[in-house]
Structure 1
Amino acid sequence: MSTWGGPVDTTLTGGRIATPDGVLESGWISVRDGRIDAVGEGAAPEGETVDLDGALVVPGFVDIHCHGGGGGAFSSPDHELVRRAVAAHRRHGTTTMLASLVSRPIPELADQVAALAELVDDGVFAGVHLEGPFLSAARCGAHDPAILRAPDTHSVATLLRAGRGTVRMVTIAPELDNGVEAVRQLVDGGVLAAIGHTDATEAQVRPAVDAGATIATHLFNGMRPLHHREPGPIGALLDDERVTVELICDLHHLHPTAVRLAAKHAGLGRTVLVTDAMAAAGVGDGVYDIGGLAVTVKDGVPTLGEGGALAASTLTMDAAFRNFVRSCELTICQAVAATSTRPAALLGLAGETGELRAGLAADLVVLDEELRPRDVMIKGEWVKE
């Protein structure tokens, strides 16, 4: 990883550039004033250049579901710790992200949202994602079942008000009392409604999608399993063209075949890779806390101390990209769509980031032949080690 600092005006040459129209095998990218000035193939414009020596350049990764990293959780009241957690993911190529929070009592969660809203204002995050507490106790995963509850108008409004417009996504189990009404309330408030941690039948999922739910929170995980006589949430969400599906591509949460089947069915416009990362991402094994629950990380796999269920992940977006291509046998262009283009569009940032084209922010990742980050640029500035 380079240690260059400060914004640069330069042209990156001699690289393989993953553009919206395909990979340019001998391409260049001109960066000016923090934005992409031009992208082309062949002879580069005159001026200062950086030779990429054949490296692959992809748009900066956009992670819409992440709880922490670098030893810190986004629920922490310590802003410096939260910034260090963000920095850990930036070094792995994530240039835009939502801060995800796990289930807590409404007053505590509102305080966490309010604290994160300040960091959204500072440009650290693109918004906040609430994964709970409106989830099914039957599919609680790493959420304390004692805290889970059905949504009500007042509680939803309290959390949105605490965020001052920064809450961008909320995950809900639609079968809960007032679940569908809560989806409508979120959508009416300009918030992305996601379905997850749910024991719903297909018949219970459909009304929530009709009400405006457009995202499946980590499809397959935290859901009633797919069955050929009762498709449940997996079948309903994957089959509905209105829904974008999140996939945790760490090869622990999902088998490569399951990733491939889902991604091929959903296609470029409906597939998003997420990390669902916890504080251990980029750090290592040990015992950590997620929403008051003890989580043991061994060999990079986090599990609850009781029952051994998977609890978040230690994934980074570069590893998700790499796994998607190398283990799941999807293409570079499909991986770019799932890690950058589609999640940026979901957040309403399609005109700002998510692609390598003129006019967008110079958010990019330079990958070596093993698809590992060699350098990361955010808004025209190289990320320091």
Structure 2
Amino acid sequence: MLHGNILTPDGWLLGELHWQDGRIQRIDGKPVDPASNDAPRILPGFIDLHVHGGGGADVMQGAAAIDTLARTHARFGTTSLLATTMTAPDAEIRRVLGEIDAFIASGEARGARVLGVHLEGPYINSGKLGAQPAYARPGPIAEVDELCALAPIRLVTLAPELSGHYELIRHLSERGIRVQLGHTLGSYEQGVSAMQHGACGFTHLFNAMTGLHHRHPGMVGAALAHAEFAELIPDLLHVHPGAIRAALRSIPRLYAVTDSTAAAGMPDGEYRLGEQAVTKCLGGVRLADGTLAGSTLTMDQALRNLVSVGLSLADASARLSRYPADFLGLVDRGRLAEGCQADLVVMDSQLGVQSVYVEGGVVAEVSITSGLVEGGAS
């Protein structure tokens, strides 16, 4: 049981949240404005659909690294995530997918729950790689089906303008796999056509895609004009606060991701992002040529950043929990209601993390002596 200001789908309640066997049993309380008291803020656990690494570990390193990053991000409030791969040679992608599948099947997760895979590349445009290695190419349906047989791929990022990709988008959508448009030189018209074929989101909106011009709206224009969902990196480095506000006015269920690298939760220095070396410095991660290469963002900081640009705590929370859950079709995560998983983030009045629960088990709590968030056993 926890007592505090509880964010439910119907608003804030001051009261008690009870759970058993990992699921919420009941919530008792009275409506409240959380600004009226200093009791803890109890939020749905954060769901991050774009995670490359954390705690010094990179997804492409395999199962041990995935365990490390899952425990690292749990310290900052993430209770569910998608392990996100990089563009790489076919054999490497297949190896990593096999290791992710084995890790999920083992049930040995001690941090955030790994729900599956976000396949970011190799089916992207070689002219918009960003920090992706140069192995981009079109995706034959038969090959993609082979990859999907290796691990639970829940989300695929691709460039719609590549040969055969409209058919691939339709095929994946019919299989229940979500498709996002990203790392693309596609036009507004190609973005709209991709959505008509079943694409339903945009990967790190504004970054690594054709921008908005009033005579050539580009992929950004397609997102702003037509999208229900899109992911965005709110580290205030990848996207200007003004652009974030514009997207919030246009895309009803814009949701936050970290696009975090091995450098998340770590000091400045050199880390891996797939096969490439990246450097963490001045709050960002970059390749040697200065290209932004993922982020150091954690979801608790994403929440604070969204509040800082004008969102209410309830709205910001929805963009870290309920909307990504909705995007994946998850009805028992991303919200605090009877029957849902007891995935919880307890924060103080300054939005600092106090404790984190995954399916009812404590995975992180504040050390009384140090004030730091430390990993715990679930």
Same fold (TM over 0.5): yes
Q: Determine helix, strand or coil for the equivalent of 1:65.
A: strand
| 1:218/1:289 CA distance change after superposition, 3 Å | same
Q: Contact 1:238–1:245 (CA<8 Å) still a contact in 2?
A: no
Once the two structures are TM-superposed, the CA of residue 253 in structure 1 deviates from its matched residue by 0.4
Once the two structures are TM-superposed, the CA of residue 285 in structure 1 deviates from its matched residue by 1.2
* Per-residue CA distance 1:204-257 (angstroms, 9 max, x = gap): 11111111000100100111111111111111022214x411010001001111
Q: Does 1:182 align with 2:168?
A: yes
Match of 2:259 in 1: 276
TM superposition score normalised by structure 2: 0.90
Alignment of 1:150-165 (within 5 A): 150-163=138-151
Distance 1:260 1:121 in 2: 40
Match of 1:90 in 2: 74
The residue type paired with residue 160 of structure 1 is C
Once the two structures are TM-superposed, the CA of residue 53 in structure 1 deviates from its matched residue by 5.8
The residue type paired with residue 255 of structure 1 is H
* Per-residue CA distance 1:271-323 (angstroms, 9 max, x = gap): 110000000100121112222222111022101102x1110001111110110
| 1:264/1:22 CA distance change after superposition, 3 Å | farther
Distance 1:172 1:258 in 2: 23
1:65 pairs with 50, 60, 66, which one?
Answer: 50
Distance 2:315 2:106 in 1: 32
The residue type paired with residue 239 of structure 2 is L
Q: Does 1:343 align with 2:328?
A: no
2:335 pairs with 355, 375, 378, which one?
Answer: 355
Distance 1:112 1:335 in 2: 33
Match of 2:93 in 1: 109
1:228 pairs with 205, 214, 217, which one?
Answer: 214
The residue type paired with residue 245 of structure 1 is A
Alignment of 1:15-164 (within 5 A): 15-24=4-13, 26-42=14-30, 54-77=39-62, 79-123=63-107, 124-145=113-134, 147-163=135-151
The residue type paired with residue 325 of structure 2 is A
**Number of positions where the alignment pairs a residue of Structure 1 with one of Structure 2:** 355
CA-based RMSD of the aligned residues comes to: 1.6
Identity score, percent: 40
Match of 2:370 in 1: none
Q: Determine helix, strand or coil for the equivalent of 1:157.
A: helix
Q: Contact 2:66–2:83 (CA<8 Å) still a contact in 1?
A: no
Distance 1:231 1:254 in 2: 18
* Per-residue CA distance 1:315-373 (angstroms, 9 max, x = gap): 111110110112x11111211211001111222221x2111111111111011122111
Match of 1:3 in 2: none
Q: Contact 1:284–1:300 (CA<8 Å) still a contact in 2?
A: no
Distance 2:209 2:275 in 1: 22
Match of 2:297 in 1: 315
Structure 1: runs of 5+ lacking an equivalent:
1-10, 44-51
The residue type paired with residue 311 of structure 2 is L
Distance 2:360 2:272 in 1: 36
The residue type paired with residue 283 of structure 2 is G
Q: Contact 2:58–2:274 (CA<8 Å) still a contact in 1?
A: no
Once the two structures are TM-superposed, the CA of residue 153 in structure 1 deviates from its matched residue by 2.1
